[in-house]
Chains A and B, each alone.
Chain A
Amino acid sequence: MEATFNSIIAAAAPLIIASMGETITEKSGVINLSLEGSIRLSAMTAFAVAFWVGHALVGFVAAALVGAAIAAIIAYSSIGLKLNQIAVGFVLTLLAIDLASFLGDSFVGERGPRVPPLPIPFLSDIPFFGKVFFDQDLVVYFSFLTIAATWWFFYRTRPGLNIQGIGERPAAAFARGVNVNKLRFWYTVLGGAMVGIAGAAYSLDVKLGWRETLTLNLGWIALAMVIFGGWHPLRVALGAYMFGALQVLAFQLQDVFPGVSQVLPVAPFPLMILALVFVYSDWFSKLGDRFPRMRNLLGSEAPAGLGQVFERE
C-alpha cells in the first residue's frame, strides 16, 4: 500500500511540474499549446546533455532552457507579432515532436545518469506519510515546492495579484500601471522553463533513458489538468494526482482482469472527461457561492483574457 502511494506521488511529479508551469502561463493570459512538443524535446535534450556531461543536473538546466526557448517563441509571436497563440503553439508542438525523434535517434537504448533517491532524515521515518512523501528524490520534492510556491505566489503576493489581473482583464490591469505585455512574456517563459524541467524529470528520473513514446502524451494531459483544476494550483495538483492514481490502478488491475487488460490503460481518459463534466456542472459551479472562502478553489472560470492579444489601441 505504502509502495503504491509512493509510486503514485513519484510518477505524478513531471505532470505536476508541467501543469504548474502551464497554470502560471495561462493565468497571465497566454496559452502555451506546445506542451507536448516542449516536453518531448526537453526530455530528449536533458537525456542527451546529461549523457555527454555525465551529470543529471546539467540535463535539467538544458531542458529548462529548451522549454523556455519554445515558450519565448510563443510569447513573442503572440505579443510582438500578434499571431494566433493556438496556431503557433500547435505548429511548434508538431515541430518539436519531430525534432525530438530525429535528434534523439542515436540515444535510444542508451543508459544515462539519473537523479539519486534522497530520503529526508527523520521525516521519512514518519509512519506511512514519511514513506509516501519523504522517501523520494529531489525532483519529487521540487514538484511539491512548485505547488506550494505557485499557490503562495498567486494568492499571497502583489505580483501574484497582478498576474491574475493581466490574465483576467489586461486593459484594466494596464490602466492601473501594470506592464501587461512584458509580464506576460516573462511568465510564459517561466512556465515554459518548468515544462522543460518536467520533460527532464521523465528521461532522467521517472522513466530513465530516451525513446519516442517516453512521455505518454503528458503535455496534452497537463493542458487538460489546468482546465480541470480551474486554473487553481491546488486543484490542478489534485487532478494530476488523481490521474496518476488512476493510471497506477489501471496498471495493477490488468493482472486481476486479464480479459479487459486492453481497455484499462485508456480508462483514465474517459474518466477525465466525466470529471470535467462534473466540474463544469451547475451544481459544482454554484458551490463557490455557498462557500465564499473557498471561492478561488471551487471556481472553474478561465481567465477572461486568456488567449487575447493585448494592444494599447
Chain B
Amino acid sequence: MSLEIRDIYKHFGPVRASDGVSITIQEGSLHGILGENGAGKSTLMKILSGFYSADSGEVILNGDVLDLSSPADAIAAGIGMLHQDPLVFLPMTVLDNFALGSPGTVRLDRTEVRKELERVSSELGFEFDPSRLARSLTIGERQQLSITRLMWLGAKVLIFDEPTTGISATQRLQLFDTLRKLAEHGLIVLFVSHKLEEVEDLCDSVTVIRQGKVVYEAEMPVPAETLVEKMFGKVFVVQGREAVPLGQPVLRLANIDLKEDTTHLENLNLEVASGEVVGLAGLEGSGQRALLRACAGLLEPASGSLELDGVSLTKASYRGHLAAGVHYLPAGRLEEGLIEGISITEHLVLASDDSTFFIDWKAARKVAETEIEDYSIKGTPSSSAEDLSGGNQQRLLLSMIPDEVKLLLLEHPTRGLDVESAAYVWTRLLARRAEGTSVIFASADLDELLRYSDRIVVFFAGEVFAVRDASGTDGEELGYLIGGKERV
C-alpha cells in the first residue's frame, strides 16, 4: 500500500497555500511533514482529509484515485485526521463521542458500541471510562479517543496535525509510542510539525514544505542544521544573552497570598531588579499565572504587599498598575490580548494614550504603517487581528507596549511561534531590558528559560519550590525541580 499525492494546487485568494505538491509515502512508514507556521502543511493535510477540495491534483491510495470532496469520502477511503485541537464534543460522553458519525443502523445500540470501544481501545492500549464527559478529558486523552475512533472506522492513513501542542511530556511519550505501533501495524502515519526535535525523534522519513512547495525530502536521520535551513531558507543563529548590569530593585513582593481557581499560592517573597529577566517555570497551574496576574493587577492578593519602585500597588486596580508602568501580555493572544474583528490600526489607536475625542484616522494609519514595518508584521493596517498568524499577533502585541514600561509580564511569550518569530520576540524583549525594563515571563520551554533568564523561579504545587541563577543550572535540574524533586 502506498499513498501518493500528485500535483496538488490550492489557493486562498492570492495566497498559494499548496503550489504543486507531490509526495509519495510507503506503508508502515512514519512520515514527518515539516515546515514553519504558514508553510502550507495544514492546508495539504486538510485536502487529504477532505476538509478542503484542491484546485487541481490527485490523491492516490493503493493505486486508486480518490474522490475527496468531503470528510465522509476521506473516511470511507480510509484517511483519518487528528486535528490540532481534537474535535470532540465537550458535553457528550466518551461513548457518544466515539459513536457520533459512525455508520450503522438507525437505532444506536450503545451496548454494542461500548463493546467495540473496549475492543479497539484495548488493542491500542488505551483505557476509557465510556460514561465520562469529554469535557473532563485531557487533550492527550481526547487524542487517544480520536485515534481509537479512526481505527475503529478502518483508517489506513492517519494524519496527526501538530499533535504535541498542549499535552504533557508523559502523554507525548505515550503518543509517540502509539504512533510507532500504528506504523508497525502497516499504517501510513503522517506527522505534521514545526518542531524539529519531534520529527528527529519519531520519523522514518521527512518532507519539508516551504511556501506551499516541497523543498526537501529525505530518509531520517538528517542533520538538524539541514532541516532548519530547508525550513527557513537560511540558517538561524539565536542570539545569546548579553551581560546587562542589574539596577536597583523595582518590584518587591512580600508575603503574598494568592488564590485563583484551584491555584493557591502562599507566602511568596520576590524582588526583581531593574533590567532583570526572571523566568517562571513549573507545570501549568502551579502558580505562575496567578503571580503574573497579581503583578498585572488582575488578581488582588489575599494578603501581603506588592510594591513597584517604592509605591504600593497591593490594592491598586488594573488601570493603576498600567499607570505605574506595568504591562502584561497574556498567553491567550486572541482571547485576552487582542480584539477579534478590529484592525491593526484600530488596535494601535486603542493602545495609544491619546485621549482626544475624535480620531485622526490618517495619522493613525501612518502610525500603523510604521509599526508594521518596525515590527515586521505580515499584514496591512486594515488586517483583522484574527487574520494574523500567531507570530504576527505577538508582534502586534509587542508593538502595543507603551514606550515607558518598568515591568513587563509575559505568559508563554513564544508558545506556538516558529523559530524565527520566537527569536524576534526575544530580540525585542532583550532590547527593552537593556533600557532598564524588568521582565518576568512564564514558559514551559526549558531552553527559553535557560537562555533568556537571569534567574529562574520554579513553582511546584502552589509554592516557590526553588530559585536558581540561570547560569548555574541546566535543563536536567530544572526538569527535576519542576517535578517537585531536588536533583540527587
The chain A residues found within 8 Å of chain B, CB to CB, are 156-162, 164-165, 168-169, 171-179, 292, 295, 299, 301, 304, 312-313
Contacts A161-B108, A165-B101, A173-B100 hold; do A301 and B51 have CB atoms under 8 A apart?
A: no
In the complex, are the beta carbons of A165 and B108 less than 8 A apart?
A: no
In the complex, are the beta carbons of A168 and B81 less than 8 A apart?
A: no
Q: A165-B89, A179-B70 are in contact. List 11 more A-B contacts (CB 8 A).
A: A157-B106, A161-B99, A164-B92, A173-B101, A174-B51, A175-B81, A176-B75, A176-B100, A177-B72, A177-B101, A312-B51
Partner of A175 from the list B49, B102, B133 (CB cut-off 8 Å) is B49
Q: Is the CB of B90 closer than 8 A to any CB of chain A?
A: yes
Q: Is the CB of B96 closer than 8 A to any CB of chain A?
A: yes
How many residue pairs link A and B with beta carbons under 8 A? The number is 79
A289's nearest neighbour on chain B, judged by CB, is: B133
* B99: chain A residues within 8 A (beta carbon): 158, 161
In the complex, are the beta carbons of A158 and B105 less than 8 A apart?
A: yes
Q: Is the CB of B117 closer than 8 A to any CB of chain A?
A: no
In the complex, are the beta carbons of A158 and B102 less than 8 A apart?
A: yes
* A157: chain B residues within 8 A (beta carbon): 106-108
* B106: chain A residues within 8 A (beta carbon): 157-159
* B83: chain A residues within 8 A (beta carbon): 175
In the complex, are the beta carbons of A156 and B72 less than 8 A apart?
A: no
Partner of A165 from the list B51, B52, B100, B131 (CB cut-off 8 Å) is B100
In the complex, are the beta carbons of B108 and A178 less than 8 A apart?
A: no
* B74: chain A residues within 8 A (beta carbon): 177
* B101: chain A residues within 8 A (beta carbon): 162, 165, 173, 176-178
Q: How far is the CA of A292 from the CA of B133 in the complex (A)?
A: 9
Q: Is the CB of B13 closer than 8 A to any CB of chain A?
A: no
In the complex, are the beta carbons of B87 and A158 less than 8 A apart?
A: no
Q: Is the CB of B442 closer than 8 A to any CB of chain A?
A: no
* B91: chain A residues within 8 A (beta carbon): 168, 299, 301, 304
In the complex, are the beta carbons of A164 and B108 less than 8 A apart?
A: no
Q: How far is the CA of A172 from the CA of B139 in the complex (A)?
A: 15
From 29 to 57 in chain B, residues with beta carbon under 8 angstroms from any chain A beta carbon are: 46, 49, 51-52
Q: Is the CB of B462 closer than 8 A to any CB of chain A?
A: no
Q: Shortest Cβ distance from A295 into chain B, in angstroms?
A: 8
Q: Is the CB of B282 closer than 8 A to any CB of chain A?
A: no
**B: number of interface residues (CB 8 Å):** 31
Query: Which are the 4 A-B pairs with shortest beta-carbon distances?
Result: A176-B101, A177-B72, A172-B87, A165-B100
Q: Is the CB of B329 closer than 8 A to any CB of chain A?
A: no
In the complex, are the beta carbons of A158 and B108 less than 8 A apart?
A: yes
Q: Is the CB of B104 closer than 8 A to any CB of chain A?
A: yes
Contacts A165-B89, A175-B83 hold; do A156 and B107 have CB atoms under 8 A apart?
A: yes
From 100 to 138 in chain B, residues with beta carbon under 8 angstroms from any chain A beta carbon are: 100-102, 104-108, 131, 133
As a 0/1 sequence over residues 289 to 312 of chain B, the CB contacts with chain A under 8 angstroms (1 = contact) are: 000000000000000000000000
In the complex, are the beta carbons of A168 and B71 less than 8 A apart?
A: no
* A162: chain B residues within 8 A (beta carbon): 100-101
Contacts A313-B51, A313-B52 hold; do A176 and B107 have CB atoms under 8 A apart?
A: no
- List 18 interface pairs A-B (beta carbons < 8 Å), by A numbering: A158-B102, A159-B106, A160-B108, A162-B100, A164-B92, A168-B90, A168-B91, A168-B92, A169-B87, A169-B90, A173-B101, A176-B71, A177-B70, A178-B72, A179-B72, A299-B91, A301-B91, A304-B90
Q: Is the CB of B88 closer than 8 A to any CB of chain A?
A: yes
* B76: chain A residues within 8 A (beta carbon): 177
Q: How far is the CA of A157 from the CA of B107 in the complex (A)?
A: 4
In the complex, are the beta carbons of A168 and B72 less than 8 A apart?
A: no
Contacts A161-B108, A165-B100 hold; do A175 and B89 have CB atoms under 8 A apart?
A: no
Partner of A172 from the list B75, B89, B105, B108 (CB cut-off 8 Å) is B89
Q: How far is the CA of A168 from the CA of B135 in the complex (A)?
A: 13
In the complex, are the beta carbons of B71 and A177 less than 8 A apart?
A: yes
Q: Shortest Cβ distance from A235 into chain B, in angstroms?
A: 15
Q: How far is the CA of A285 from the CA of B131 in the complex (A)?
A: 19
Q: How far is the CA of A31 from the CA of B230 in the complex (A)?
A: 50
Q: Shortest Cβ distance from B96 into chain A, in angstroms?
A: 6
* B70: chain A residues within 8 A (beta carbon): 174, 177, 179
B104's nearest neighbour on chain A, judged by CB, is: A158
* B52: chain A residues within 8 A (beta carbon): 312-313
* B107: chain A residues within 8 A (beta carbon): 156-158
Contacts A156-B107, A175-B49 hold; do A292 and B71 have CB atoms under 8 A apart?
A: no
Q: Shortest Cβ distance from A256 into chain B, in angstroms?
A: 45
Q: Shortest Cβ distance from A112 into chain B, in angstroms?
A: 39
